[in-house]
Structure 1
């Protein structure tokens, strides 16, 4: 009794039944076509999203590199301006005769009249 019985039911062959079968087939085709379109649209959306995200990430990396480069350039500019101020001050000092005489006595051991120069060795720093 556990055997599967085959159903011997005859189908009604009317135009209404045929129309319903064709409608079901058309509906199945429409669903299949809709699924294909949606999957194609999804694949396109994923591709475009990937392109956009990779573009944003590469632009962010480039922007970070440029920001770091700008910080280094600003620091270098500040150092160069400080060096320029020092050099301008040296130019002003070198135009002063008293400064040149003082510099010559200090570095080249020149002396004024009745002046004796004593050379005292500097102490070496111990490590």
Structure 2
């Protein structure tokens, strides 16, 4: 049973049989070409989808970094605006002679006429 048997059947050599054989061969070729085209299309589609997904992921990470940087810079901007307001107030105060006199007496221990400055040492509290 393992050996092949030789068939004693011969083919009919008519034009119809030849046409059917050519049609089978053509159909097999078309199927083979279709499979090749579909596999090539699958390779290109998978490559394109990989590139699109990787670019999307890299763009989202860059966008997240930019958003974090924007938040940080916005915080710095608010701090700088507060500092600017404080400095504007200081400029207005420094244009006042009474404020300058108080500041000089406080920081540099200047005194007015007939005024005595007592320097009290700060005691350390240990407990």
Task: Provide the alpha-carbon RMSD of the alignment.
Answer: 1.8
Counterpart of 1:50 in structure 2 is: 50
CA drift at 1:125: 7.2
**For the structure 1 residues 3 and 34, does the alpha-carbon distance in structure 2 shift closer, same or farther, using more than 3 Å as the test?**
closer
Summarize the alignment of residues 68-87 of structure 1 with structure 2, pairs less than 5 Å apart.
68-87=68-87
Larger CA deviation: 4-13 vs 20-29: 4-13
**For the structure 1 residues 121 and 60, does the alpha-carbon distance in structure 2 shift closer, same or farther, using more than 3 Å as the test?**
same
Summarize the alignment of residues 1-127 of structure 1 with structure 2, pairs less than 5 Å apart.
2=1, 4=3, 5-124=5-124
Task: Please report the TM-score for the alignment, with normalisation by the length of structure 1.
Answer: 0.87
Tell me, in whole angstroms, the C-alpha distance in 2 between the residues paired with 1:3 and 1:53: 54
CA drift at 1:122: 2.6
Tell me, in whole angstroms, the C-alpha distance in 2 between the residues paired with 1:19 and 1:85: 96
Where do 5+ consecutive residues of structure 1 fail to align? none
CA drift at 1:52: 1.3
Task: Please report the TM-score for the alignment, with normalisation by the length of structure 2.
Answer: 0.87
**For the structure 1 residues 29 and 105, does the alpha-carbon distance in structure 2 shift closer, same or farther, using more than 3 Å as the test?**
same
